[in-house]
Chains A and B, each alone.
Chain A
């Protein structure tokens, strides 16, 4: 693991105009090579935090840095090194899988040779090579999720942000994604993802943060946090304490 901070969230808060804050003074750091799990109940503030990280959601309180660049002030520098997979990806349904992936490759200016190799490699791994010529509208949810994942991987991001990435994936694809995450982490990519599947988080992550009602109530390395318990037990304990 490297000691370079790839994602730094400092005192980030967000409210949608109501009395309640969706994210309240959230601070955490994801280092290069980390697989950082972000867990919490539905509506706890996971997606609100993730969407601010990837530059989709405007925020005024706090700061978020990606690879040393401010998300607020250096939008393009941040986006160039980040890939984001939303929980329910809205892809262009009337494009074929190939057309969509080609669009993403063009956006990141990936050479023809490299894009062909990457798309082939990941499409084979997720077993959707034969379907890439079909319209995305004809895909199942899981297939759309696979296309979204491939689109996030083809430009080799330094920071991979995933919101509930395992939802809708078949067991084989979920396993493949986990393998890819390990592989990327070994190469120094930082991975920050939200999940409800605590077993997966426990096996996959080296660090984890628990968020409740917009506040981080526990965070740290997996060993520090679980203290010999399972993540599920620890999560329930911490969540009930607050």
Chain B
């Protein structure tokens, strides 16, 4: 790595560093937002650290702490792969300052490699939180030799590299294929989805192979499964072996292969880098003039259409918001083909459960995927520099945000209804119950739209450099997602429990009213925030 690469990495980091903004702005509101965002991030790191600490202490008490290195390497590898894959388009390709950077004396492969390293450095605090938590428990229970501590920490920096490179390379192949088509974004999104689904199901497939012959699920079996799985991915195995057996050869292998792969990947990516970005940044001239597009619509519908175009114009945006609705639909289709019982058995790993007691949770199962992300949490910040357009138009702020919520409803309601119906049919749920589940599903979508809008307006950030900062890393998304997902998981447990105690339809009816109330409160809050938004 030469001095120019270091210079570029330093500048990339500085250009998205909130401390730099803090130092150079006089805007007190902005400063306070930055302080809060930092505090929130630190709390989040601590929560992850705490959660994993508790989990691995549990492992220690159960006597299976020896799986901690394998679990650590597998978790880091998996997260590194997923996060990188979802960010490649936007960080490595099709980024905003492409023209500026490529006109400077940097080689194509240098720009690509520096963007990758930037992505890696930005993710490191997450990986370190996970790894340090596991190291603490492992050290407490196993008392390994002193050399293990620096080795574990050093290798934590290395273990995400290979999965990140694999994810980047797949992203590169997809970008390369997509760049050959006129509908670049659509093609890229489809390929990205196919890959995500492939890896999603690969997990179950691997589990099936590894578990061959085992029926009963115990914690010991899970530990055994982790140890067997880690052997399927050599870099994770090398990490695990290096820190368990003080195997220096494995440590060397991990570092050497990472370095070689890094050089190889960016040699290949660099050769087509300009070609791909040229194709992604430009569109073929079209002679289509469609008068149908000039139809009169209400402001809310117009805004919703604008959001639709914004989403379909960005692979990163489309991939991140479509993942939930696609996974839920796939779950519904599989349930129809294989049966509801089969899905429950896969998730519960064969535990003997009467699936009837789970019926009442069907809308919440669907919401687990569909409500994962809300476009209304993202779209206020995504206006970015174009915020002046909606701001300068005679649009009532309430109607503007109602339009944004409407778009989220357009996106989620059809998939929610479809998934709930498919799950209900596969489970043999009676008609009346199905109707109640569909109603609950739709209200959950309304809640997601309104709650998302609250987070989106309250934590609006327009001065982003890359839309990934908004879609994947913004405070609005984190504050929307975590309570929403945890609340949903809590509700699943609660409805199943209450369904056992009383008539499930009564439970569902009560929940419908509670969710409706929550959606209404969120909507009202969103409207108040809309009035106050600048």
B11 and A95 form a contact (CB under 8 A): yes
How far apart are the CA atoms of A43 and B284 in the complex, in Å? Answer: 12
Whether B284 lies near A18 (C-beta < 8 A) is: yes
Does any Cβ of B come within 8 Å of A108's Cβ?
Answer: yes
> Judging by beta carbons under 8 Å apart, are A95 and B104 in contact?
no
Which of A16, A54, A137 makes the CB contact (< 8 A) with B282? A16
Q: Does A169 contact B (CB under 8 A)?
A: no
> Do A84 and B103 have beta carbons less than 8 Å apart?
yes
Known A-B contacts A75-B107, A80-B105, A135-B24; the reply to A56 vs B98 at CB < 8 A is: yes
With A93-B465, A94-B20, A95-B14 known as contacts, the answer to whether A16 contacts B7 (CB < 8 A) is no
In the complex, residue of chain A having the shortest beta-carbon distance to the beta carbon of B97: A90
Q: Is A103 an interface residue (CB 8 A)?
A: yes
CA distance A135 to B96 in the complex (A): 18
- Minimum distance in angstroms from A23 CB to a CB of chain B: 12
Among the listed A22, A55, A94, A135, which residue makes an inter-chain contact with B102, where contact means beta carbons less than 8 Å apart? A55
A61 CB within 8 Å of chain B: no
The answer on a CB contact under 8 Å between B285 and A79 is: no
8 Å CB contact of B100 from A91, A106, A134: A91
Contact with B along A95-107 (1 / 0, CB 8 A): 1100100011011
Does B524 have its Cβ within 8 Å of any Cβ on chain A? Answer: no
What is the minimal beta-carbon distance from A116 to any residue of chain B, in angstroms?
18
- Asked if A94 and B285 make an inter-chain contact with CB atoms under 8 angstroms apart, the answer reads no
B285 near A16 (CB under 8 angstroms)?
A: yes
The answer to whether A223 has its CB under 8 Å from any CB of chain B is no
Is B99 close to A, CB under 8 A?
yes
CB-defined contacts of B509 to chain A, threshold 8 Å: none
Q: Are B107 and A76 in contact (CB under 8 A)?
A: yes
CB of B274 closer than 8 Å to a CB of A: yes
CA distance A24 to B14 in the complex (A): 41
Q: How far apart are the CA atoms of A137 and B27 in the complex, in Å?
A: 12
Q: How far is the CA of A113 from the CA of B96 in the complex (A)?
A: 32
Shortest Cβ distance from residue A133 to the other chain B in the assembled complex, whole angstroms = 7
Instruction: Answer whether A55 and B103 are a contact pair too, CB < 8 Å, given A93-B463, A94-B17.
Output: yes
The listed residue (B99, B104, B105, B284) touching A16 by CB distance below 8 A is B284
Given A17-B182, A22-B285, A90 contacting B105 (CB threshold 8 A): no
In angstroms, Cα B24 to Cα A188, docked, is 39
Tell me if A73 counts as interface (CB < 8 A to partner B).
no
A86 contacts B by Cβ under 8 Å: yes
Q: With a 10 A CB-CB cut-off, give which of B17, B98, B102, B108 has the most chain A CB atoms.
A: B102
Contact check, A76 vs B284: say whether CB atoms are below 8 A apart.
Answer: no
Complex interface: chain A residues within 8 A of B32 (CB): none
CB distance from B409 to the nearest CB of A (A): 33
B306 interface contact, C-beta 8 A: no
B463 touching A137 by the CB < 8 A rule?
yes
Q: Are A94 and B465 in contact (CB under 8 A)?
A: yes
- Report whether B100 and A89 are in contact in the complex, using a CB–CB cutoff of 8 Å: yes
Do residues B16 and A94 form an inter-chain contact, with CB atoms below 8 A?
Answer: yes
Q: Who on chain B is nearest to A137 by CB?
A: B463
Chain A residue nearest in CB terms to B284: A18
Q: Is the CB of B24 within 8 A of A90?
A: no
Within the complex, the shortest CB–CB distance from B458 to chain A, in Å, comes to: 21
Question: In the docked arrangement, what's the CA distance between A16 and B278, Å?
Answer: 9
Which of chain A's residues have a CB closer than 8 A to the CB of B277?
Answer: 58
> Is B11 a contact partner of A92 (Cβ separation < 8 A)?
yes
Q: Are A92 and B7 in contact (CB under 8 A)?
A: no
Assess the B21–A56 pair: CB atoms within 8 A. Answer: no
Q: Is the CB of A92 within 8 A of B97?
A: yes
The B62-114 residues at the A interface (CB cut-off 8 A) are 96-100, 102-108
Chain B residues in 8 Å Cβ range of A51: 99
Q: Known contacts being A16-B283, A20-B285, is A103 close to B11, with CB within 8 Å?
A: yes
Q: How far is the CB of A60 from chain B (nearest CB, A)?
A: 9
Interchain residue pairs with CB less than 8 A apart (20): A17-B284, A43-B285, A54-B103, A55-B102, A56-B98, A58-B274, A58-B277, A79-B104, A79-B106, A90-B96, A90-B97, A92-B14, A93-B463, A95-B14, A96-B24, A99-B14, A103-B7, A106-B7, A107-B105, A108-B105
Q: Beyond A94-B17, A95-B14, A99-B14, list 17 extra A-B contacts (CB 8 Å).
A: A22-B285, A55-B102, A56-B102, A58-B279, A79-B104, A82-B103, A84-B99, A86-B103, A92-B14, A94-B16, A95-B11, A95-B15, A96-B24, A103-B11, A104-B104, A107-B7, A108-B105
- A contact residues vs B (CB 8 Å cutoff): 15-18, 20, 22, 43, 51, 54-58, 75-76, 79-80, 82, 84, 86, 89-96, 99, 103-104, 106-108, 133-135, 137-138
